[in-house]
């Protein structure tokens, strides 16, 4: 993992060199459309306040729970105690990015969505609320955290979420075989190169023309940058957008040439 200073340097370089967030100079109608209609959509959707209210409650919840800690990896699993408020503070995608995922689901209307790393379920709730007709399959290895997420989904009446418990190494592939076709995936757990590439390779046969995959924390560490660089260069990845804290890839045959963008967000 990069230290704070390295990360800040990287962020400044990104901010200076990225395409301006209004889409000027982006010569791709698809990406221009994404920037204007999704990235910069400032609407406050009805679901947002309920989910953010839940986040606030979690941020003030000082209950301590035992969690299986997968750390940056999954093989060395330790039991640790953690405060719910700390998990909410450090592990969840921020409002800005979770709401971007909501808008993407709302705009592109994927029907089958996969999330690797449920944690307390805040981003899952955004994905599920963006399209009530979509089926969300969210994966989480830590039992106690998963129980919290499930209780929240029940309370919020989010019935289109299936929470799949267990180590991704054991649960992901069998679930993909059942799901069969994935329109949208958010890879947000086990942030190392080898597992990230392995999960992506497992996912690949189930993607199709127009699938979208989002990777979290692509500049968090040398390993994650290496994984992102490998993925975005694959032939099947016709368009990639680097927003620094997340990377988005589009698998679509509609692009005439491979396109890689870095966009300020
Ligand atoms: C960053 S959090 C997910 C945050 C969530 N997507 C959000 O934005 O609200 C990553 C989660 O993945 C889980 N995780 C990490 N590695 C795992 C593995 N190998 N198998 C199962 N779960 C794992 C962790 O327990 C943690 O809860």
DSSP one-letter code for 163 = E
| Domain boundaries along the sequence of the chain | 4-60+87-262
75 backbone dihedrals φ, ψ, rounded to 5°: -80, -40
* C-alpha–C-alpha distance, residues 158 and 175, integer Å: 20
**Class of the domain covering 4-60+87-262:** alpha beta
pTM over cut 0.75: yes
Tell me the per-residue pLDDT of 97-121, one tens digit each, with 9 for 90 and over: 999 999 999 999 999 999 999 999 9
Q: How far is the CA of 247 from the centre of ligand 1 (A)?
A: 17
Ligand 1 pocket mutation pick from 145, 189, 223 by most atoms within 8 angstroms of CB: 189
pLDDT tens readout for residues 198-240: 999 999 999 999 999 999 999 999 999 999 999 999 999 999 9
DSSP assignment, residue 7?
H
**Beta strands per DSSP E along the chain:** 64-69, 78-83, 112-116, 135-140, 161-165, 184-187, 211-216, 239-242, 246-251, 259-262
* Probe target for ligand 1 pocket from 117, 124, 138, 144, with the most ligand atoms within 8 Å of CB: 117
């Amino acid at each position: 993992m990069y230290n704070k200073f390295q990360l800040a340097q990287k962020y400044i370089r990104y901010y200076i060199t990225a395409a301006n967030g209004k889409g000027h100079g982006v010569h791709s109608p698809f990406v221009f459309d994404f920037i204007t209609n999704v990235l910069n959509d400032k609407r406050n959707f009805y679901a947002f306040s309920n989910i953010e209210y839940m986040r606030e409650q979690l941020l003030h919840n000082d209950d301590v729970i035992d969690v299986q800690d997968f750390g940056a990896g999954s093989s060395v699993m330790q039991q640790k105690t953690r405060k719910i408020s700390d998990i909410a503070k450090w592990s969840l995608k921020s409002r800005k990015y979770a709401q971007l995922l909501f808008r993407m689901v709302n705009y592109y209307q994927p029907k089958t969505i996969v999330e690797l790393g449920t944690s307390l379920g805040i981003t899952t709730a955004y994905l599920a609320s963006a399209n009530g007709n979509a089926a969300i399959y969210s994966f989480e290895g830590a039992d106690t955290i998963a129980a919290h997420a499930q209780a929240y989904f029940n309370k919020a009446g989010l019935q289109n979420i299936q929470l799949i418990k267990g180590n991704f190494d054991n649960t992901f592939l069998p679930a993909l075989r059942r799901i069969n076709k994935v329109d949208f995936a958010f890879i947000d757990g086990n942030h190392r190169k080898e597992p990230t590439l392995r999960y992506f390779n497992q996912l690949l046969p189930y993607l199709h023309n127009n699938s979208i995959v989002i990777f979290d924390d692509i500049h968090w560490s040398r390993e994650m940058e290496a994984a992102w660089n490998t993925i975005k260069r694959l032939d099947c990845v016709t368009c990639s957008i680097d927003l620094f804290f997340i990377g988005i890839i589009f698998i679509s045959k509609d692009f005439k040439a491979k396109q890689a963008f870095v966009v300020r967000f």
